[in-house]
Amino acid sequence: MPSYLGAIGTANPVHRIAQPQIADFMAQALAFGDNEARKLRALYRVSGIEHRYSVLPDYGRANGDYTFFPNTPTLEPFPSVGQRMAVYRREALPLATEAVRDCLRQVPDVAPASITHLVTVSCTGMYAPGLDIELVQALGLRPDVRRTCVNFMGCYAAVNAVKLADAFCLADAHARVLIVSVELCTLHFQKSPEEDHLISNALFGDGAAACLVQAAPLPNGAPSLALQAFHCGLEPDGHDDMAWHINDFGFEMTLSSYVPKLIQRGIRSLTDGLLNSLPVQLADIRHFAIHPGGRKILETIEAELGLTREDNRHAYRVLRDYGNMSSATVLFVLREVLAHASPADRGAPVLSFAFGPGLTMEAMLLEIAVSDEPARAKTHQQEETADKAGLLSIH
């Protein structure tokens, strides 16, 4: 029996900033002349992004009055890793908690006390005692909840978290796994005119997503995603084209313009590797949840696999409204799939991809499941246990 992913919650910081405003900030921060600034704004216009979110208001303030970056013409002294991690520690927990609340509101019969496993995901910050322990305390989870941290894997990390949750549920039919991904990518702006940094500065935003994985689909006709199969591919030639390093002034992303070509070269074999042992062919699939690493990546996959822009509509919408939020992004796209699923989609396969450093390419095959079973009432013993622990509501 498969395990099921459902009830995906999302959250973003309060600062929603238009892409042209961010371009103005970047042009000023990089001290670009008119010609360079014009090229930079053109890059932002063709990105497919209209807005991004940030825990920092500064990206919408091209004329100074910054709250994080120094109010100097050159932004010097440029913020250190320590300063950036201080903001991460302050902002990650509230954002993650908001995403979990959004998730659990969709499943009112699920008490926090019933969560058996917690998997946290992030590549944009870390500390110890970490986000996992703080979430246990903030959400009122049981102190013996089994905690796993998936750190620093990049944009494909949520797929690995789903793999872990699937394994937990297959090993224990009573497992109930909460996955929480939080990424504050905009903390890591690099003041550099190198192409890699210009591209990453144009793409990444902040966001959090949380989802529930368990051995049964959601009740009362709410759609879930049955986890059918996973497959991982590597393109070692891309080792230096997509990378993530901790340096003195933040985490530095290497994201070369060659990445779409690497994905083009490997996406067909990745798809074949996933589907070869399954009774599903690519032609049977009409639902897609592709990580929108960038507009060019989406277009490359469409061309290679014979997809249309309409097939990829959920990824384009997430890219347009949020940008690339690293590991949280594919969960935003899967939320779109669930939001638009209907009873007529019962049993329909969903193909999902995510990409990251390595160059790593992850694939998942899911299936839309719609259960007719009503929600199970809590037993008296479950309610009594939760009452004693004070866990029936999220604090």
What is the pairing mode between strands 250-255 and 242-247?
antiparallel
Q: Are 140 and 115 in contact (CB under 8 A)?
A: no
- Give the count of alpha carbons within 13 A of 309, CB side only: 7
Instruction: Name the active-site residue from 155, 169, 185, 211.
Output: 155
Phi, psi for 48 (deg, rounded to 5): 85, 5
155 in catalytic set:
yes
Location of structure tokens 């870390």: 126
The sign of the CA dihedral 54, 59, 64, 69 is positive
Phi, psi for 87 (deg, rounded to 5): -70, -40
Q: What is the rounded CA–CA span in Å between residue 36 and residue 159?
A: 38
Alpha-carbon distances, residue 349 vs 124, 228, 331 (angstroms): 32, 9, 17
Q: H or E segment at 40? A: helix 34-45
- For 350, the token pair is 């969903």
- For 384, the token pair is 């009594």
Helix intervals (H) in 106-217:
131-139, 157-171, 195-203
> CB 76: neighbour CB atoms within 10 A?
10
Q: What is the rounded CA–CA span in Å between residue 285 and residue 217?
A: 21
Q: What is the rounded CA–CA span in Å between residue 113 and residue 386?
A: 6
Omega before residue 77 within 30° of 0, cis: yes
Which of 283, 300, 392, 280 has the alpha carbon at shortest distance from 353?
300
Q: Are 248 and 263 in contact (CB under 8 A)?
A: no
Q: Which amino acid is at 82?
A: G
- For 122, the token pair is 């992030």
List the catalytic residues: 155
